[in-house]
Amino acid sequence: MIVFGVDPGLTRCGVGVIEAEASRKLSFVHVDVIRSAPELSQDLRLLAIYDGLADQIDEFSPDVVSIERVFAQANRNTVLGTAQAAGLAMLAAAQRGIPVALHTPTEAKLAVTGNGQAEKIQVERMVARLLRLDRLPKPADAADALAQAICHALRPAGALQGGEREQHLTQAQRQWAQAQQRTKRRGPVQRDM
- 63 contacts 3 by C-beta, under 8 angstroms: yes
pLDDT score at 174: 55
What DSSP designation does 69 have?
Answer: P
Q: Exactly one of 19, 107, 124, 141 is catalytic; which is it?
A: 141
pLDDT score at 186: 57
What is the extent of the structural domain holding 145?
2-186
Q: Is the pLDDT of residue 32 over 70?
A: yes
Residue 180 belongs to some domain of the structure? yes
- Our answer to whether residue 7 is catalytic in this structure is yes
Residue 32 belongs to some domain of the structure? yes
Residue 21 belongs to some domain of the structure? yes
Q: Is 7 annotated in some ligand binding site?
A: yes
Angstrom distance (rounded) from CA 7 to CA 92: 15
- 27 contacts 72 by C-beta, under 8 angstroms: no
Angstrom distance (rounded) from CA 168 to CA 187: 27
Residue 165 belongs to some domain of the structure? yes
Strand partners, 19: 2, 27
Residue 178 belongs to some domain of the structure? yes
Strand partners, 35: 12
Regarding pTM above 0.85, the answer is no
Residue 144 belongs to some domain of the structure? yes
Mean pLDDT of the chain: 84
66 closest CA partner among 33, 30, 104, 36: 104
Top-confidence residue, 165 or 84: 84
Residue 191 belongs to some domain of the structure? no
Contacts of 8 (CB under 8 A, 6+ apart): 67, 68, 70, 82, 83, 85, 86, 88, 89
In the structure, what pLDDT confidence band is assigned to residue 89 with cuts at 50, 70 and 90?
A: very high
What is the number of domains present in the chain? 1
Rounded average pLDDT over 23-40: 94
Residue 193 belongs to some domain of the structure? no
Angstrom distance (rounded) from CA 191 to CA 48: 27
Q: Exactly one of 19, 68, 107, 144 is catalytic; which is it?
A: 68
| pLDDT (tens digit per residue) in 57-70 | 999 999 999 999 98
Rounded average pLDDT over 134-145: 90
- Our answer to whether residue 21 is catalytic in this structure is no
In the structure, what pLDDT confidence band is assigned to residue 23 with cuts at 50, 70 and 90?
A: confident
pLDDT score at 80: 85
What CATH code is carried by the domain that includes residue 10? Answer: 3.30.420.10
Top-confidence residue, 114 or 56: 56
- Our answer to whether residue 51 is catalytic in this structure is no
